[in-house]
Amino acid sequence: MRIISGKFRKKMIFPPKNFTARPTTDMAKESLFNIIENQFDIDSIEVLDLFGGTGSISYEFASRECLSVTCVELNYNHYSFIKKTVDELKIGNQITVMRANTFGYIQSCKRQFNLIFADPPYDLKGIETIPDLIFENNLLTNDGLFILEHSKANHFEEHPYFRSNKNYGSVNFSFFAKPQPSE
């Protein structure tokens, strides 16, 4: 796994061999960040990374100098690996790593974020409820963007806040946003 761009560009990160997390592929991650960088000045946003896994997306945002990233991961081994990597990269001032159940975190969080990224296990029970929970709990700023990574088995086109879907091989990103006054 590598960091694609920013101050840690080309930095290789090696999760343990027994890791169960599936990092977003480099091709999909690069395409995703091209989309994000066309919509946001990354150095002026606050990000929530749900189901942190390896921490790949959080490191990518920190490398690009975003204001802050809150990374939520329940699995203790994954959480510990992310914390260790954050310490090694000396980016603890940018990334806050929380060991928590994502569904519980969403319901108890009182902050808003400019961008929320969620990469749950593709077979996660309840994956279809995540967009509703994000919007019901008002976690996104008015001009914010929620991105859900999922398999081709999931379809969100009927969701009222759905905007688009991008497919990169086995990786699908669905994009959600609040309606703007002109819509």
Q: Give me the residue label for tokens 């690996």.
A: 81
Q: How many domains does the chain have?
A: 1
* Continuous segment of H or E residues that includes residue 50: strand 46-50
Work out the angle at residue 58's Cα, subtended by the Cα atoms of residues 16 and 162, and round it to the nearest 5 degrees: 120
Q: 130 in helix, strand or coil?
A: helix
Instruction: Summarize the confidence of residues 55-83 as an average pLDDT.
Output: 97
pLDDT for position 6: 93
Q: Tell me the residue range of the domain where 103 lies.
A: 41-176
Domain-located, residue 106: yes
Domain-located, residue 76: yes
What is the per-residue DSSP string for 30-95? HHHHHHHHHH--GGG-EEEEES-TTSHHHHHHHHTT-SEEEEEE--HHHHHHHHHHHHHHT-TTTE
Among residues 9, 14, 45, which one has the least CA distance to residue 29?
Answer: 9
Q: How far apart are CA 27 and CA 74, in angstroms?
A: 26
Per residue in 114-137, pLDDT tens? 999 999 999 999 999 999 999 999
56-63 vs 26-39: helix crossing angle, rounded to 10: 40
pTM confidence score: 0.95
Per residue in 40-63, pLDDT tens? 999 999 999 999 999 999 999 999
Domain-located, residue 154: yes
Domain-located, residue 142: yes
pLDDT for position 21: 79
**Res. 20 pLDDT band, cuts 50 70 90:** confident
Q: How far apart are CA 157 and CA 163, in angstroms?
A: 8
Which own/partner contact pairs does 9-12 have at CB distance under 8 Å and 24+ positions apart? 9/63, 11/59, 11/63, 11/89
The CATH number for 124's domain is 3.40.50.150
Q: 120 in helix, strand or coil?
A: coil
Q: How far apart are CA 66 and CA 87, in angstroms?
A: 17
Per residue in 22-43, pLDDT tens? 778 888 999 999 999 999 999 9
pLDDT for position 19: 82
Domain-located, residue 61: yes
